[in-house]
Chain A
Amino acid sequence: MSDIDTGSQEAGDRGKTLESGMPSSEIKFIQGNEVCVEAALYAGLDFFAGYPITPSTEIAEHLSARLPQAGKTFIQMEDEIASICAIIGASLTGHKVMTATSGPGFSLMQEALGYAVMTEIPSVIVNVQRGGPSTGLPTHASQGDVNQARWGTHGDHAIITLTASNHQDVFSITVDAFNLAETYRTPVILLFDEVVGHMREKVIIPAPGQLPLVERLRTSVREGIDYHPYLPREDGRLPMSDFGGVHRYNVTGLVHDMWGFPSGNPQVVQGLLRHLVDKINNNAREIARYKTYFTEDADCMLVSYGSSARSALHVVMNRRQRGEKLGLLELQTLWPFPAHVVRDVCARAEYVVVVEMNMGQVLEQVKLAVDKAQKVFLANRIDGVFINPTDIRNILRLIQGKGV
C-alpha cells in the first residue's frame, strides 16, 4: 500500500528473504511486555535489573527465566533506584543492559537516569505507563509520562524516547532502542503503555540477522597508551573501554574533562553540556521513527502514538472508506521531538488533531512544530479508559462543526 509509509530507516531490511538453512522467523501470540523481552534478547541483552511494578512486571518475570538460560544475568534489586544503578554498572563492563518499570518507579530512577546521561552509559529504560500522579491507576491506560521522560531528571540535557502501538513495532522499536543507546552512548527510554504492554497480539519474531544490531564501539587504543574516555571522535561518537579491561579511567557524574576528571572550568562545562545535547538533538532526523497513513491528501491529520494510535488508525481507515480525507502520522520517536516531520506532514492539512491519553503533552509540541498553532486540536481521555474510535469521532464532529 503506497499510502502507508514508515519513517524507520531499517524498514527496508525487514522483508529480506533468508537463505535456506538459516533459522527462520517465528510467529507468537503474546503480550506486549513479552514482545519487549523477545526483542531485548534479540538485540543482545546481557543484564537486567528491576523491581516489580504493574503494568511492567511481566518483563522482569520473563527475563528471570530467559536470561539465565542464555548464561546471562537477571537480578531483582531492592528498589528501582538500585535497579537503574545496577544496569549502569553492568553496562560499563561492556554489556547490553535494561531495566523496566512504571510511573512511580520511573520517578525514583530520575537521578540515576541523569547520571547515565552525564556519564554517557548505553542503557535501555522501559516505562510501561500507568495513570498518575503517585500510585494513580496501576492497571489502567495512560500516556502521562511523555514530559517526565523528557524532563524528569534535573538540568539541561537531551534524551531519546521511543514508543510503539502494536507488537510488531514494539519488537523493532525495542531493538532500535538498544541500537541507538550504543550509537549515541546514551540511555534510551522506551515509553510503552498499559494497553500495549498487556494486550496479546500476533508478532513475528524475525530470524537472527534480519534486523541490524549495533554493537558497542570499543576503543582501538592499545594497552599502555593513554585512552580518553570522554574524547569524542570527529563524528561525535565516543569509543568505550570495558571496566575490568586494560584501560583504567574515572567515571563521575560531576562535570568532567576528556579524562573523566572533575572540572569546574567554564570552558569544560560549556563544552560537555553542548556535547551531551548536540550529539542527540543534532541527529534528530536520524533518530526520528514514524509511520504515515494516507497523509498525502489529508485535510484532517491525526497525530498519535502508542496504543492511542491504534484507535486513531481505526478512525482513519473507517472514514477513508466513506471518502473523508483523514490521515494519520504515528510518532514512534517522541524525543528528540521530530518537529520537522510533524511540520512537513501537517503542512497541507486544514486541521491537526493530536490523539493521546493525557492532557496534551504531545499537543504542545505539535503546536510548536506546525505553521499555525490554531489549527491543532486535542482528542484525549484522562480517565484511565482506553481512548476508542468513537471518542475520536465525537471530537472530530465537534471540530468540523457538526455537533455531537
Chain B
Amino acid sequence: MSIKQFIRERFFPHMWCPGCGHGVVLNAMLRAVERLGLNKNDIVMVSGIGCSSRISGYVDFHTLHTIHGRALAFATGVKMSRPELNLIVPMGDGDALAIGGNHFIHAARRNIDMTAIVMNNRIYGMTGGQYSPLSGHGILATTAPYHNIDQGFDIVNLATAAGATFVARTTTYHVQQITDILCDAITHKGFSVVEIMSQCPTYFGRKNREGGAVEMMKLMKDRTTPIGSKAFQENPDLIQRGIFVKRDQPEYCSEYHKVIEKAMKGR
C-alpha cells in the first residue's frame, strides 16, 4: 500500500521551503507508520508551533496543532484520557527545548507512553532565523549577528537525565535510520525521544555559510557516526547516532491504573 493513504492531499502544497529537512522527516515517519501497520484512527499527532509543527496538518490522523512549546502537555491530556491511542509529538528544537523545555523534562520524568520527535534544525525557522537553545556557541543568527554566546543543549543527554526510557538520534541524511528508529520508538512502552538533526537552508544554512540543502545534508553525514564506532573513538568531536537508551520502567498510564485499582478497593 502506498504511504499516500496517510496524507491529506487537500493540504498540499506544503508550506516548507525547498530543501527543508522537515519534509524528509514527514516521509520517513509515514513509512514507519506503514511498516508498523498502525490504524489511522489509533494515531493522534500533537504538535506545537513552528515550521516543524506544521507536519501535523499534512497527515490523516487525529491531529492537534496547538500552541508554542506546549504540545507534550496537550498530548499528556489525550494520552491519560485514552491510553490505548498512539501519541506522536513532533516538535521544533525551540518548541521542544526553549519554551517547551519544562514540559519536555517532566514528560520524560513521568515516562508517559508517547513518541517525542525533535526536528532539530538549530534555529527558529518560522520566525526568521533567530538562535535556539540548540544553535550552539559561535553560530550566527538574526538575533546573534556577531556570534551566539549561548551553549547548546545535548538533547540525548538531557532526555536521558530527565528519565526518558527510549532515546535516539539520527539525521535527515539517514532516512532509513529515521524509519527504523521511529518504529522502535513508537512501539516502545514509555516516553521516547528521537532527535532528528534537520536542515533549515533558508536561515541556518545561509547565515552560517553551510550552503544549500544538499551541502547541509552532506555535512550531517560527515559530522555524525554510529554510536561507539571506530571513527568516534578516533574523533570524539563526531556526533553519535543510533539508539542510546532503551530500558523498561513502569509507564505512567499503567501506574495511574494501579492508583485507580487501589482507590476503588479502598471505598
Given contacts A75-B80, A81-B70, A87-B77, contact A248 B57 (CB under 8 A): no
| Contact status B78-A85, CB under 8 Å | no
B221 interface residue per 8 A CB criterion: no
A344 interface residue per 8 A CB criterion: no
Nearest B residue to A95 via CB reads B81
Interface size on B, residues (CB 8 A): 42
Which among B56, B74, B84, B259 is the interface contact of A89 at CB below 8 angstroms?
Answer: B74
Nearest A residue to B109 via CB reads A78
Given contacts A78-B106, A89-B64, contact A250 B46 (CB under 8 A): no
Pick the interface stretch among A63-71, A144-152, A195-203, A232-240.
A63-71
B248 interface residue per 8 A CB criterion: no
Given contacts A244-B85, A261-B10, contact A249 B63 (CB under 8 A): yes
| Contact status A93-B63, CB under 8 Å | no
| Contact status A90-B67, CB under 8 Å | no
Pick the interface stretch among A208-216, A251-259, A296-304.
A251-259
Given contacts A86-B74, A253-B65, contact A68 B44 (CB under 8 A): no
A81 to B69, CA, bound (A): 10
Enumerate chain A residues within 8 angstroms of B60, measured Cβ to Cβ: 248
Enumerate chain B residues within 8 angstroms of A324, measured Cβ to Cβ: none
| Contact status B78-A68, CB under 8 Å | no
Enumerate chain A residues within 8 angstroms of B81, measured Cβ to Cβ: 46-47, 73, 89-90, 93, 95
| Contact status B260-A71, CB under 8 Å | yes
A112 interface residue per 8 A CB criterion: yes
A92 interface residue per 8 A CB criterion: yes
A319 to B63, CA, bound (A): 60
Instruction: Mark each residue of chain A from 8 to 47: 1 if its CB lies under 8 Å from any CB of chain B, else 0.
Output: 0000000000000000000000000000000000000011
Enumerate chain A residues within 8 angstroms of B264, measured Cβ to Cβ: 68-69, 71
Nearest B residue to A87 via CB reads B77
Nearest A residue to B253 via CB reads A73
| Contact status A82-B103, CB under 8 Å | yes
B267 interface residue per 8 A CB criterion: yes
A115 interface residue per 8 A CB criterion: yes
Enumerate chain B residues within 8 angstroms of A85, measured Cβ to Cβ: 66-67, 70, 73-74, 76-77
Nearest A residue to B60 via CB reads A248
| Contact status A82-B73, CB under 8 Å | yes
Which among B57, B70, B85, B260 is the interface contact of A261 at CB below 8 angstroms?
Answer: B57
B206 interface residue per 8 A CB criterion: no
Interface size on A, residues (CB 8 A): 43
Chain B's interface: helix, strand, loop or mixed, by majority?
helix
Which among B42, B70, B78 is the interface contact of A93 at CB below 8 angstroms?
Answer: B78
| Contact status A252-B256, CB under 8 Å | no
Which among B46, B65, B85 is the interface contact of A254 at CB below 8 angstroms?
Answer: B65
A243 to B56, CA, bound (A): 14
Enumerate chain B residues within 8 angstroms of A262, measured Cβ to Cβ: 57, 65
Nearest B residue to A118 via CB reads B67
Nearest B residue to A65 via CB reads B263
A93 to B63, CA, bound (A): 12
Given contacts A65-B263, A78-B106, A262-B57, contact A251 B65 (CB under 8 A): yes
* A344-389 with Cβ < 8 A to chain B: none
Enumerate chain A residues within 8 angstroms of B63, measured Cβ to Cβ: 248-251
A55 to B63, CA, bound (A): 36
A395 interface residue per 8 A CB criterion: no
A286 interface residue per 8 A CB criterion: no
Nearest B residue to A46 via CB reads B81
Enumerate chain B residues within 8 angstroms of A244, measured Cβ to Cβ: 41-42, 44, 62, 78, 82, 84-85
Enumerate chain A residues within 8 angstroms of B262, measured Cβ to Cβ: 68
Instruction: Mark each residue of chain A from 150 to 186: 1 if its CB lies under 8 Å from any CB of chain B, else 0.
Output: 0000000000000000000000000000000000000
CB B38 to nearest CB in A, in angstroms, measures 13
Nearest B residue to A77 via CB reads B73
CB B224 to nearest CB in A, in angstroms, measures 32
| Contact status A253-B77, CB under 8 Å | no
Enumerate chain A residues within 8 angstroms of B79, measured Cβ to Cβ: 89
| Contact status A78-B103, CB under 8 Å | yes
B102 interface residue per 8 A CB criterion: yes
| Contact status A88-B77, CB under 8 Å | yes
* B173-223 with Cβ < 8 A to chain A: none
CB B47 to nearest CB in A, in angstroms, measures 9
B232 interface residue per 8 A CB criterion: no
| Contact status A115-B77, CB under 8 Å | no
Which among A46, A47, A65, A252 is the interface contact of B57 at CB below 8 angstroms?
Answer: A252
B246 interface residue per 8 A CB criterion: no
B153 interface residue per 8 A CB criterion: no
A111 interface residue per 8 A CB criterion: yes
A79 interface residue per 8 A CB criterion: yes
Given contacts A112-B70, A243-B64, A249-B63, contact A49 B42 (CB under 8 A): no
| Contact status A68-B64, CB under 8 Å | no
A4 interface residue per 8 A CB criterion: no
Enumerate chain A residues within 8 angstroms of B85, measured Cβ to Cβ: 93, 243-244
| Contact status B65-A73, CB under 8 Å | no
Task: Give B residues with C-beta under 8 Å from A.
Answer: 8, 10-11, 40-42, 44, 46, 56-57, 60-67, 70, 73-82, 84-85, 102-103, 106, 256, 259-260, 262-264, 266-267
30 example contacts (A-B, Cβ-Cβ < 8 A) are as follows A49-B76, A68-B259, A68-B263, A69-B263, A71-B260, A73-B81, A75-B256, A78-B102, A82-B106, A83-B73, A85-B66, A85-B67, A86-B80, A88-B74, A89-B64, A89-B81, A90-B80, A93-B82, A97-B77, A112-B67, A243-B85, A244-B41, A244-B44, A244-B82, A245-B41, A246-B41, A248-B60, A250-B65, A252-B57, A261-B10
With A87-B77, A90-B77, A248-B41 already in contact, 6 other A-B pairs whose C-beta atoms are closer than 8 Å:
A47-B80, A69-B266, A71-B264, A85-B77, A89-B75, A261-B57
Which 10 A/B pairs are nearest by Cβ-Cβ distance? A89-B77, A86-B77, A85-B73, A68-B263, A82-B73, A252-B65, A90-B81, A90-B77, A89-B78, A89-B74
